[in-house]
Amino acid sequence: MRPIRSALCLALAVQTLPALADVRGDLDRIADRLEPKVIEWRRDIHEHPELGNREVRTAALIADHLKRLGYEVRTGVAKTGIVAVLRGGKPGPVVALRADMDALPVTEDVDLPFASKVRATYGGKETGVMHACGHDTHVAMLMGAAEALAEVKDRIPGTVKLIFQPAEEGPPPGEEGGAALMLKEGAFDAPVPEVVFGLHIGSMLNAGQIGYRPGATLASADVLKIVVKGKQTHGSAPWGGIDPIVVASQIVLGLQTIVSRQVNIPNEPAVVTIGGIDGGIRFNIIPDKVTMVGTVRTFNEALRDDIHMRIRRTAENIAEASGATAEVTIDKPYDVTVNDPVLTTRMLPTLKRVAGADNVQLRDRLMGAEDFSFFAQKAPGLFLFIGGTPAGQDAAKMPYNHSPKFSIDESALKLGVRTLLHLTMDYMGAK
């Protein structure tokens, strides 16, 4: 990870403050003018959602827009991703801005004229497809920021790199994708970003509010799979085999003691969840095997490894005690999302100026995960939360991200655009 620019650079950059104030005002006026267009983009993308690694229409919409604006555009990065570069009229740092594009296998249950009617196949099953996590707004906001930046290109003291990322929610089974694949395919190659900014809309805050946290902000998210193998027998004669259903039940209970009895929770929180169990097809047949799937969430890499060890030990020993076996597989698609503390502190005045100091909130850590984490491992990163619940409504009672009833107040989009613009210009011009 590269350090943020030196004090000497800061002293030199302060000389540009009057010009920076002028361009800030112009960008705000452009954001006001672009608001209807940003909302129109969001509605179009919302009505035509696409699953991870399949964002073909969305990518084409973005690429056409950026090419018309004069960006250097590279398409097909990590399947459908886009990397675009805008070189400003003055020398300065490279700032990366990231938005994710994919939707979820969720059937929408919101009464909107632009509600999704799209159907697709996911995991071998037909399902509705919905932007239930707000990625449609992320794309629209970054498209709006891209247009505003292009209008003041000659006054930008640096280079802007836009990252439109597929498959943040994870690629289809058996495929590679997301931020890790974008980096593997050169998304952060020349020009190399000095910092990276991202944001996420959510119902946990009201429109007009911004949430932030320095340091570990979102958890790592591991995919756990345990296959318990026993011996098939008739349900009336369980002694004639080894019942993997009973063994799996004991393993589920045993796993719960890892967090409740073996982890120092006041020091570091953690979660071990089994979300699915599949075994057997008939009431009177004990099957050969049971498959369990779940997730592990932590904020600490050492604790993450320790919990993995305890899961393997618990599952394997419980199975062995009954004469069965347990095969444990743990994949690590999401690392901890860490906001660079120095960068977060430096940009906090920007957030307060854009949203108003009373609307900027220090948030608790969240057990949700984001593969923005991989970008933030390559350059100092800042990942923020933009409120999507209408002002005056209790955000705590609104449907959360990933719900079929998830909906956002579109007035939040302009704040997202302005946040991206001011973070970019302030970092370039006043460090």
> Could you list the mean pLDDT of each consecutive 10-residue stretch along the chain, which spans 431 residues?
48 54 94 98 98 98 98 98 97 98 98 98 94 98 98 97 98 94 98 98 97 98 98 97 98 97 93 97 97 98 97 98 98 97 98 98 97 98 98 95 97 98 92 42
DSSP string, 57-89: HHHHHHHHHHHHHT-EEEEEETTTEEEEEEE-S
The whole model's pTM is what? 0.92
How many other C-beta atoms lie within 10 A of the C-beta of residue 184?
12
pLDDT of residue 173: 86
pLDDT of residue 21: 83
pLDDT of residue 14: 43
pLDDT of residue 308: 98
Best CA proximity match to 2, nearest among 427, 431, 379, 374: 379
| Single-letter residue type at 198 | G
pLDDT of residue 20: 79
The DSSP bridge partners found for residue 108 are none
| Single-letter residue type at 147 | E
Round to whole Å and give the CA distance between 295 and 251: 15
CATH code, residues 7-218+336-429: 3.40.630.10
- Per domain, the residue ranges of the chain are 7-218+336-429, 220-334
Specify the CATH class of 220-334 in words. Answer: alpha beta
pLDDT of residue 5: 53
Active site residues: 334, 410
Q: Do residues 108 and 130 make contact, with C-beta atoms less than 8 angstroms apart?
A: yes
pLDDT of residue 431: 42
